[in-house]
Amino acid sequence: MHSQNMGVLVEDTGEALERTMEARFQDHVVVITGAGGGIGRATALRFAAESAKVVAVDLDKSGLEETAVAIQQLEGEVLIHVADVTYADQVEGYVTAACEHFGGVDHFFNNAGIEGPRVPLTDYSEEAFEQVLAVNVKGVWLGMKAVVPALRERGGGTIVNTASIAGLGGTPFAIAYGASKHAVIGMTKTAALELAPDQIRVNAVCPGPIETRMMRSIERGTNPDQPEVEYERIKSRIPLERYGEAEEIAAMVAFLSSDDAVYITGGIYPVDGGSRAR
Ligand SMILES: NC(=O)c1ccc[n+]([C@@H]2O[C@H](COP(=O)([O-])OP(=O)(O)OC[C@H]3O[C@@H](n4cnc5c(N)ncnc54)[C@H](O)[C@@H]3O)[C@@H](O)[C@H]2O)c1
């Protein structure tokens, strides 16, 4: 090709790419659970920055309010909705609120989760086990159950479930958390197969240690007197030699939810600084 034409082609492609980036979620509605916490908030902000309307769901009202202020600073549109993901009526409530306020749902980031205690499996209480499974397994299933009809109404959509590297291997002293995140991966694959005919893509993101409240709690749970020692120990085992940032998970979720990932479903994606390469 003539070099001048080549220049025009490159310029056109660049402009087209810029338009694609800006428009990835223009007029789209995303529902995000756990949006008052670290990863959920960062992802809400990422979607808002890419022009999506955000429905932010959490148990924690003050966390949601902080998320809303941050989105409004970006001049984004946000609806906050307090709900406990373990109750079917409250889950249906956040989907109904999204449909009534924004007219429908295109993307779902099914992300609320709890870590549970750090204790040997022999000391783990039934109550703690049931609570971790209620939030991390039942809450994720109920979310998909309630959102899917709304995605079908739109002729398709996307779901990203938050699993963990704890869903890809054993996690000593976190029997229920490890079980729950393996279950999220199983549900993601099952849902991807069931929902492919509806043009609903379902993927999972598997964060390694990320700089949020949850890791601070895990460090304290493992070494109450010197959590900073536990922080250094965990960090030293990560090939990239640092914890991840919530924004680095948000980037993967946005990619998987976008048309850039239009041929990807049933995929399980570690974002972990190389931890699972060991
Ligand atoms: N931080 C990490 O290192 C890490 C690593 C792997 C996976 N994850 C997963 O990422 C997700 C987000 O975690 P995070 O790091 O942002 O932690 P976080 O504690 O900052 O956020 C979790 C949010 O979920 C909300 N939540 C908890 N139970 C709920 C319920 N029953 N109903 C509604 N909301 C509820 C909490 O109020 C909180 O705002 C979780 O599923 C977690 O298991 C985190």
Cβ of 34 below 6 Å from ligand 1: yes
d(CA 192, CA 265) in angstroms, rounded, equals 6
How many angstroms separate the CA atoms of 227 and 259, rounded? 41
CA distance 243 to 245: 7
* 149-168: average pLDDT: 98
Q: How far is the CA of 19 from the centre of ligand 1 (A)?
A: 33
Q: Is 179 in the pocket of ligand 1 (CB under 6 A)?
A: no
Q: What is the dihedral of CA 210, 213, 214, 216, to 10 degrees?
A: 90
Residue with tokens 């398709």: 156
* Helix or strand holding residue 114 (H, E): none
- Confirm if 131 and 114 have CB atoms less than 8 A apart: yes
Instruction: Name which of 113, 110, 98 is nearest 52 in CA terms.
Output: 98
| pLDDT score recorded for residue 16 | 58
Calculate the average pLDDT of the chain.
94
pTM, two decimals, is 0.94
* Confidence tier at 3 by pLDDT (50, 70, 90): very low
pLDDT value at 197 more than 60:
yes
Length of the chain: 278
Q: Is 71 in the pocket of ligand 1 (CB under 6 A)?
A: no
Query: For domain 45-51+88-277, is the CATH number 1.10.730.10?
Result: no
SS3 217: helix
Specify the pLDDT at position 11. Answer: 62
Closest CA to 108 of 66, 71, 67, 145: 145
Cβ(51)–Cβ(23) below 8 Å: yes
Show which residues are catalytic: 177
Q: What value does the CA radius of gyration of the chain take, rounded to a whole number of Å? A: 19
- CA pair distance 34, 95, nearest whole angstrom: 14
pLDDT tens profile 8-39:
555 665 565 555 556 799 999 999 999 999 99
